[in-house]
Amino acid sequence: MKGQRQTRVVFGAVAGSMLLLAQALADEHPAAADARAVEVTADTFRCLTDMTPVRHFYVDNLLGNLEGTLAVANSEDGGVYPPGSVVQLLPTEVMIKHGKGWNAATRDWEFFELDVSAAGSSIRNRGFTDVINRFGGNCFACHVRARPEWDLICEKGHGCEPVPLSREKILELQQADPRCGPGDAQQEGDQSQS
């Protein structure tokens, strides 16, 4: 009897530590890229048109997973943007995806409003559900209206209230990003100015 109990105790201890080990591995491994902190400072931001274009907006990935970001951005039925994703339509408004679990309400997106000049970017406002843009609109309140499969990305037809900017105006604002030097890519529309 005593022997049996001892076996059970030992078995329990071994099983327990295996569980801890499995837990530790699970924490470290499959989700390793996702668990890395996404650190954002004013220096994170750069010339909009140097980022990767997707249709009429631009993307990047701060953790080196541009492929993952592009896969979701180009998917016809949506998906969840991977951590590190940067999405921008205008030079001054940015969405960045943090690691899973960072903020349940915003699905881990952080919203940024920037001031930009030839000298670079400065962060005017950042946060999750309470960032207001310079037109008095709450980023999250609009973006959360996108249907769930679009992961808070509005584009057109995803369920958000539209912005009062035509595609032509958006293109004009993109091309006028003061952080972009004359040597920056995709300034084709600007030839007349140089």
Rounded to whole angstroms, the Cα distance separating 190 from 99 reads 38
Strand blocks (E) in the chain: 52-54, 57-61, 85-90, 93-97, 109-117, 120-127
Q: Backbone phi, then psi, for 53, in 5-degree steps?
A: -75, 140
Residue 108: CB minimum distance to ligand HEC, A = 14
Residue 99: CB minimum distance to ligand HEC, A = 19
Residue 132: CB minimum distance to ligand HEC, A = 7
Q: Which residue has the tokens 């492929």?
A: 67
Q: Are 59 and 51 in contact (CB under 8 A)?
A: yes
Nearer to ligand HEC, 65 or 133 (CB): 133
Nearer to ligand HEC, 51 or 154 (CB): 154
Residue 124: CB minimum distance to ligand HEC, A = 9
Nearer to ligand HEC, 35 or 173 (CB): 173
Nearest to 96 by CA among 77, 121, 76: 121
Which stretches of the chain bind ligand HEC, using CB under 6 A?
Answer: 56-57, 87-89, 93-95, 111-113, 131, 133, 137-139, 142-143, 153-156, 160-163
Nearer to ligand HEC, 35 or 165 (CB): 165
